[in-house]
Structure 1
Amino acid sequence: MGPDPQLKWVVSLMVLTQLVACYLVKDLPWKWVFFWAYAFGGCLNHSMTLAIHDISHNVAFGNKEAKWNRLFGMFANLPIGVPYATSFKKYHVDHHRYLAGDGLDVDVPTAFEGRFFHSPPRKILWLFLQPVFYILRPLYVNPKPFTSLEVINFAVQLAYDLLIYSLWGPKPVFYMIAGSMLAMGIHPISGHFIAEHYMYLKGFDTFSYYGPLNWLTFNVGYHMEHHDFPSIPGSKLPLVKKIAAEYYDHLPYHTSWVCVLWDFVFCDSLGPFARVKRKYKVAKAE
């Protein structure tokens, strides 16, 4: 499947929208900056992380233009406020190659997370801290050398944040970063983190969701389809389901990401430990 010709234009419009929003919040009271960071900026930034997810699969410019995909990922990263796109690509490859691999797939929570965050209040705290664990877990589970592209990503992001600060002060910078952190924690959209790979039904560790929040998340809800065909753009995944309806229509799926979060917190059988963990034999480089 070739690249998505619309993705680069949609992402560029989202970056421009967040730039305008940074200007609009610069003189607001802090309470309203916080509110709009959660209610609007967070939604857009979370959507942008899923655009970066698509870009990491080279669907913006195609597999033959890997460099342009990486650079465009850095551009999409700008409104998020924290350098993320290049490191995500580095680890997301392993998520697909070694799904739920012990010590390989950093999407799987650590033993500490499973043991400590087991009660409803602690699971709520874990959801709030989810962005922190997504940043720190790779450094513990599967540390990899820092690359030159990550240095560029860091430098570009820092320069953009400093530019926004110099133009409009601290509130727009707070708006960007707080929105990103809040929307990846307790937020309706963040339900996809739990819905995708937690065992809500024994024997199944990947689930899809076909509801309206896919419109904001580049169809990341079509997650079974995505793992079957990771090179197909998110915009084409509904077509995959339609073509192979005789297969996908018989698989379990989620109907609500909000209900997923509720069940995760209050169901005793669910928690950070409710993940499959697999052993893979990985050949060592000589």
Structure 2
Amino acid sequence: MVLSRKTSLVFNKKCKTSYCRHFCLLMNNLSFKRMSQYISFSSDFTNFWIPCIVINNLINSPSWKSELIAKWAWSLFALPVSGRVFLALRRVGVACVSRSLLMISGWFEVQVWIMGNTVTRDDFEWVYTEQPHYSRRNIILAKHPEIKTLMGPDPRLKWVVTAMVLTQLLCCFLVKDLRWKWLVFWAYVLGGCINHSLTLAIHDISHNVAFGNKDALRNRLFGIFANLPVGVPYSISFKKYHADHHRYLGGDRLDVDIPTRLEGQFFSSPFRKVLWLILQPLLYTLRPLLVNPKPWTCLELLNAAVQLLFDAVLVWLWGIKLLVYLLSGSVLCMGLHPISGHFVAEHYMYLKGFETYSYYGPLNYITFNVGYHMEHHDFPSIPGSRLPQVRKMAPEFYENLPQHDSWTRVLWDFVFCEALGPYSRVKRRLPTDKEK
């Protein structure tokens, strides 16, 4: 549908709060001849109500075919924001801009309802059992003790990561004179993929597979080096919280990989789930601070200092564009991007009773085999480069498990399937120290 034209704007000054009545015509060359929508909302800043949107579609006849009424009060983020902007703009006389904002946001609300219904789940999948990977590890090792030979550091990892960091620095030099639109384009297509891959290298390094468990400090320092192109300090904090993710998988207030209740309640429609995917970098940053805050460590401060120094030197040498290239690549590629499908594919409950899933597709080649996630949780000390061998050595423990064949399809199903949403996670009430 294309927004064709706008009509009148009427204010009722006699009311305690002003009302905006806005009409627009929506045209669709394929199936709809004409669509009109009526929007009415209260502009009281202390009690801002979502408008009632009624859509009447005329399909090949003069009679109205359908009617749709939007939800009350904050049913969509875009409309309240644009409404507030409208009120601010109206005060300074920019009426035409404010009308356009209302028409766009109203049209967007229409699309939200057309896209599908809200998620049917209203809570997490609560269980009272221990996570399955401890017992699986013992059973698999009892039958296939040769898997222990795969444990230990990966001597090639440090060279691969170093090459990726240098490649990203070369890319910075090559894109420094590009126009902004092409800078963002290459950040999404190339630079973001490298940065996302580096975050997964940091994931491997957090398991001490770069230099081995006996040299943990070198692993932490190398993680700080791998962190440089990402643009924000990430490596040390990730290590601190990721250990809890493995130890207390699904643990209430311990595994910060699980969305909050606010996320589960708000991001429940198809459009909002798309927004949730876009906001993944921000949510992954804020969630640990809100759910399970921990004191800063000296290594975290070092990580932050080194990263800020690197960013400052980059801006001083080549300008702000390069920092925008790195940061936008990290944000965009860890948001709505095919590679980001692994965030959802790993633990979201696509099939009841299963909380960890593997993906064996080609994107594993550029993501350090993070798709082999069932194998990784069974054996966290095995480097990603050797996880395919785990599956080959013990096929009876992996071949018959549910698995994903496309991360893009994972994202599509997550958005449009009513049974899937941020609440689609297995969560555990772990016993407290007193209960133990």
TM norm. shorter chain > 0.5: yes
Distance across 2 between alignment mates of 1:139 and 1:65:
28
Specify every segment of 5 or more residues in structure 2 that has no aligned partner in the other structure, as ranges.
Answer: 1-150
Selected match of 2:394 from 238, 241, 244: 244
* Aligned pairs for 1:243-262 within 5 A: 243-262=393-412
Measured against aligned partners, the alpha-carbon deviations of 1:136-184 in whole angstroms (never above 9, x if no partner) come to: 0001100000111000000000000011100000111001011000011
1:233 counterpart = 2:383:
yes
Distance across 2 between alignment mates of 1:15 and 1:87:
20
Distance across 1 between alignment mates of 2:168 and 2:315:
14
- Partner amino acid, structure 1, of 2:213: N
Match of 1:22 in 2: 172
Match of 1:123 in 2: 273
Match of 2:186 in 1: 36
- Partner amino acid, structure 1, of 2:344: I
* Aligned pairs for 1:79-98 within 5 A: 79-98=229-248
Match of 2:306 in 1: 156
Match of 2:368 in 1: 218
Distance across 2 between alignment mates of 1:280 and 1:59:
29
Distance across 2 between alignment mates of 1:281 and 1:20:
51
1:146 counterpart = 2:293:
no
Q: TM-score, normalised by structure 2?
A: 0.65
Distance across 1 between alignment mates of 2:425 and 2:211:
34
- Partner amino acid, structure 2, of 1:256: S
Distance across 1 between alignment mates of 2:374 and 2:433:
27
Q: Which has the larger radius of gyration?
A: 2
- Partner amino acid, structure 1, of 2:426: V
Distance across 2 between alignment mates of 1:30 and 1:62:
42
Distance across 1 between alignment mates of 2:427 and 2:200:
24
- Partner amino acid, structure 2, of 1:111: R
1:134 counterpart = 2:246:
no
Report how far residue 2 of structure 1 moved.
1.2
Distance across 1 between alignment mates of 2:196 and 2:280:
13
* Aligned pairs for 1:100-119 within 5 A: 100-119=250-269
1:177 counterpart = 2:327:
yes
Selected match of 2:342 from 173, 178, 192: 192
Report how far residue 283 of structure 1 moved.
3.4
Report how far residue 246 of structure 1 moved.
1.2
Structure (1/2) with the larger helix percentage: 1
Distance across 2 between alignment mates of 1:74 and 1:94:
20
Distance across 2 between alignment mates of 1:239 and 1:147:
36
Quick one: higher RCO (CA 8 Å, sep 6+), 1 or 2? 1
Structure (1/2) with the larger strand percentage: 2
Report how far residue 282 of structure 1 moved.
4.5
Runs of 4 or more above 2 Å deviation: 281-284
Distance across 1 between alignment mates of 2:428 and 2:195:
32
- Partner amino acid, structure 1, of 2:418: D
Distance across 2 between alignment mates of 1:282 and 1:90:
21
Distance across 2 between alignment mates of 1:97 and 1:197:
15
- Partner amino acid, structure 1, of 2:420: L
Specify every segment of 5 or more residues in structure 1 that has no aligned partner in the other structure, as ranges.
Answer: none
Selected match of 1:4 from 129, 134, 154: 154
Distance across 1 between alignment mates of 2:432 and 2:283:
25
1:64 counterpart = 2:214:
yes
Distance across 2 between alignment mates of 1:59 and 1:154:
23
Distance across 2 between alignment mates of 1:179 and 1:162:
18
Aligned residue for 2:428, secondary structure, equals coil
Distance across 1 between alignment mates of 2:432 and 2:178:
53
Aligned residue for 1:69, secondary structure, equals helix
Distance across 2 between alignment mates of 1:278 and 1:257:
26
Distance across 2 between alignment mates of 1:13 and 1:260:
30
Report how far residue 279 of structure 1 moved.
1.3
Q: TM-score, normalised by structure 1?
A: 0.98
Report how far residue 281 of structure 1 moved.
2.2
